[in-house]
A and B are shown apart, each in its own frame.
Chain A
């Protein structure tokens, strides 16, 4: 108990690891994190360099070989117009891995700002903004997406904005509760006693101390964002043809399952699942390392 966390003498102060190094150290020892990271890095590599090692052009049709089952030539078979499913799965990671992280980034930035605002000012600001955010959270993403598409038209940007703004209130809520706890600490009073501006206090004093919960929330949200992008694409509101995007591919091929052409859908579905699982494993690892 108390004896373990003794105040060690100042002489060996500087030899103690910084908090960041400590977190990295414990991440590197977390199997959960490493497995998750491996999965995510695999898909990132596919997104970046996929076309260089994909055996076929993912967009090139080959009607003669349409709906060919998995074989040594086409590992994952071909779809209804003869495109190579393996190549499409590989290259299909690109759009989802562009849109989902950007949406999460937008959600994190907006959510952090809102969370800092409500948590710092409390009172009437908090009451008003929080009720609006809660109202926002009550609307399903799909309905927001429909409205946005009517207003903005379908594009990747629309998807990013829709998902980013739908997730922002959730992140705002997490940040707000962390800020409320920090707000009580005396360093905030000390900043007020230097006449610091509210912006300085929020972003320079408080923000660095609430980074850990934000980091955890962001990785968790990234998993949900991947799911949401795939869902919107599947429904036709998201990424548009001819992209080999996974959700889109499932959407255009799922009618084939009845005909026994399972390979046109299964591998895309597995790809989505593995990416979501990978991101969640990373999130678990980060959460564990930050709460040690």
Chain B
């Protein structure tokens, strides 16, 4: 409201102007507001980030810009101006031309954005043909585009179908297609969300480089604050379809002036925070549903600073000199009290107990089209009671297979041993004793898949108690109530089916189920990757609390290294099914570490990052059916020392007590090499 008017007289000063935009979806016969009087401008050549939790209307903004809303959506007010052109007034043909020529979009899932049955080359040349360039000229332009997105050997890539490319390559192709018609506005909707950290880093690097080559303005939509902070000049924080804060990225993230931004930033485990140093903050309550009737500030119900004025009167967007905040108390937003007290009873120092789990020489080979695929190779490790082992590595590194071997869902190859509390476990689940089965449970990544959608929550948890804890009748009922309370669900949730709960609540049910039989070990397979940050914080706190209380051990799999670091005492880094490095969490993170660990760590976008020299991994993770000779990492290793890396597989040797690294470079040399990198940014 404050800044949208002044920009309008100079035509096309802004690449995109949304003023007072309102959008509603018609659901069950009622129009429900999704965007409420949203105003924002993106200058020519600017990268603007839009952040917020799922359901706050980010994607709707992207769709609205080109008037591409789903059939039940409608723009109920306001104006959209693209490069000075009023999008609301365009007729069908002009709108089609605007979509074809001046705006391009890249979506989250490149696999769905590309046509699976048409070769990549054909899909690219098609775009040029629409612009009147045909035949050889179109092919050449397509090759040039693929070169531009740093795809090596474009002619061969053009001959392939999308499914023959990796996720990162697909996203590059999607970006190439988006850039093909030299758009003035590029909309990126969660472009790296489904990708591995290393691939994400590559794609983000690519986008950053392209920004310098092209003149396009960028609207970058993401739930990942760190990614936005690295990519964007300015950022807008969206809440319940309203802009609650806006300003230069660095200023907003370092000095937030809206309680919602403050709270979001506090939910993230940052700067190497660990579970024994305090709980993460959470945001109580829930985002208002779409179409909810909001009287005052949309965030008031979840804000500890809110008073009567906040609940009755909509705060205006205060102009704080180059930045905006929709809060009456923007000057004291940062004094927002914590929703979750940070002090935790420090867990009593544990005597060095005997390991609860001991794995030795575990292998798993799958047969894949006649080739042997070594999914897990010679993994040995121990886990103590109350300890968390973090498993990290890119997708395809064998993390999930390893977890399934432990649980007995997949039998390992002959030879390896798994010992639980000193007793060997049968390779197959059917042959394990009931006590052994209940001692090791899992929290799956996707609660929609893990919870039977036909059963009520009461049945789901009750059945687990009956089978795993052997309870019946009154005793079962009592334990059920305890368990439900310990994961912070209420009786109200028991009667419903999983689909009626939000993602975070579903994951709580899954956790309750895993804890039904007082397990010794719980495998957590990416338990928070499908959740918003505020919900993730609550789940991580819950896992940490349960661990402190029950002395359970976790095997925690995650691609988010900040999350792994928060919860883990010990880290194992896997690559092509092999442990490349294993050791106490702090040592693995602070280094010296294996070059692969080093690359993984440097790929993670950080909120408080001053541009560090990033170590980039070239190329794709090699196929496990035909792993590289010698050290399996040598094909991508930035610190390869010579032929020895290609010829001999280095042993996993203990560099320091409890910290082992599989690398030919001596530990002292790694320390020297990596110290120089760390010193650079200072």
Interface residue ranges, A against B (CB under 8 Å): 1-4, 6-14, 16, 18-19, 185-187, 189-190, 192-196, 205, 208-209
Contact = CB atoms under 8 A, between A and B. Distances in A.
Contacts of B467: 194-196
Contacts of B573: none
28 contacts: A1-B59, A1-B63, A2-B59, A3-B34, A3-B55, A3-B57, A3-B60, A3-B73, A4-B27, A4-B73, A6-B289, A7-B55, A9-B289, A14-B500, A185-B449, A186-B446, A186-B450, A187-B450, A189-B407, A190-B442, A192-B409, A193-B409, A193-B442, A194-B437, A194-B438, A208-B452, A209-B453, A209-B454
Given A3-B57, A209-B452, A193 B286 contact: no
A186 B403 CA distance: 13
Contact of A8 (B25, B72, B289, B442): B289
Interface stretch (B39-47, B250-258, B501-509, B627-635): B501-509
B562 interface: no
B71 to A, nearest CB: 10
Interface string B70-85: 1011000000000000
Nearest to A188: B452
Contacts of B55: 3, 6-8
A9 B288 contact: yes
Contact of B501 (A2, A13, A196, A205): A13
A9 B291 CA distance: 12
Contacts of B88: none
B674 interface: no
Contacts of A185: 449-450
B342 to A, nearest CB: 25
Interface in B443-483: 444, 446, 449-455, 463-464, 467-468
B602 interface: no
Interface string B473-515: 0000000000000000000110111011111010000000100
Nearest to A205: B452
Contacts of A187: 449-452
B664 to A, nearest CB: 39
Interface of B: 25, 27, 34, 54-55, 57, 59-60, 63, 70, 72-73, 285-290, 407, 409, 429, 434, 437-438, 440-442, 444, 446, 449-455, 463-464, 467-468, 492-493, 495-497, 499-503, 505, 513
Contacts of B72: 4
A185 B446 CA distance: 10
Contacts of A194: 437-438, 463-464, 467-468
A6 B290 CA distance: 8
Given A4-B27, A187-B450, A193 B503 contact: no
Contacts of A13: 496, 500-501
Contacts of B453: 209
B136 to A, nearest CB: 38
A209 B499 CA distance: 13
A24 to B, nearest CB: 15
A1 B59 CA distance: 8
Given A9-B288, A187-B449, A194-B463, A4 B25 contact: yes
A2 B58 CA distance: 9
Given A3-B57, A3-B73, A4-B70, 5 more contacts: A1-B70, A12-B289, A190-B450, A193-B440, A195-B434
Contact of A7 (B288, B409, B502): B502
Contacts of B496: 13-14
A242 to B, nearest CB: 48
A18 to B, nearest CB: 7
B148 to A, nearest CB: 28
Contacts of B500: 13-14, 16
A6 B54 contact: yes
B384 to A, nearest CB: 23
Nearest to A184: B449
Contact of B497 (A2, A4, A6, A18): A18
Contacts of A10: 286, 493, 501-502, 505
Nearest to B452: A187
Contacts of B455: 208
Would you list the 8 A-B pairs with minimal beta carbon distance, nearest first?
A9-B286, A208-B454, A6-B55, A186-B450, A194-B467, A8-B289, A186-B444, A187-B452
A7 to B, nearest CB: 4
A133 B263 CA distance: 60
Contacts of A7: 54-55, 502-503
Contact of A9 (B54, B434, B442, B502): B502
A231 B547 CA distance: 68
B429 to A, nearest CB: 6
B59 to A, nearest CB: 5
Contacts of A189: 407, 409, 442, 444
A10 B499 CA distance: 11
Contacts of A9: 285-289, 502
A2 B63 CA distance: 11
Nearest to B451: A187
A60 to B, nearest CB: 53
B263 to A, nearest CB: 16
Contacts of A12: 289
Specify which of A2, A14, A19, A205 lies most central, judged by the most chain B CB atoms within 10 Å of its CB. Answer: A2
A190 B501 contact: no
A194 B407 CA distance: 11
Contacts of B287: 9
A208 B505 CA distance: 23
Nearest to A191: B452
Nearest to A190: B450
A20 to B, nearest CB: 11
Contacts of B442: 189-190, 193
Contacts of B454: 208-209
Nearest to B519: A193
A164 B257 CA distance: 71
Contacts of B502: 7-10
Nearest to B499: A19
Contacts of A4: 25, 27, 70, 72-73
A190 B437 CA distance: 11
Most buried by A among B288, B446, B502: B502
Contacts of B409: 189, 192-193
Nearest to A187: B452
B190 to A, nearest CB: 9
Nearest to A189: B409
A247 B632 CA distance: 73
Contacts of B493: 10
A13 B489 CA distance: 14
B556 to A, nearest CB: 17
Contacts of B438: 194
A16 B289 CA distance: 13
A205 B453 CA distance: 9
A209 B452 CA distance: 8
A190 B513 contact: yes
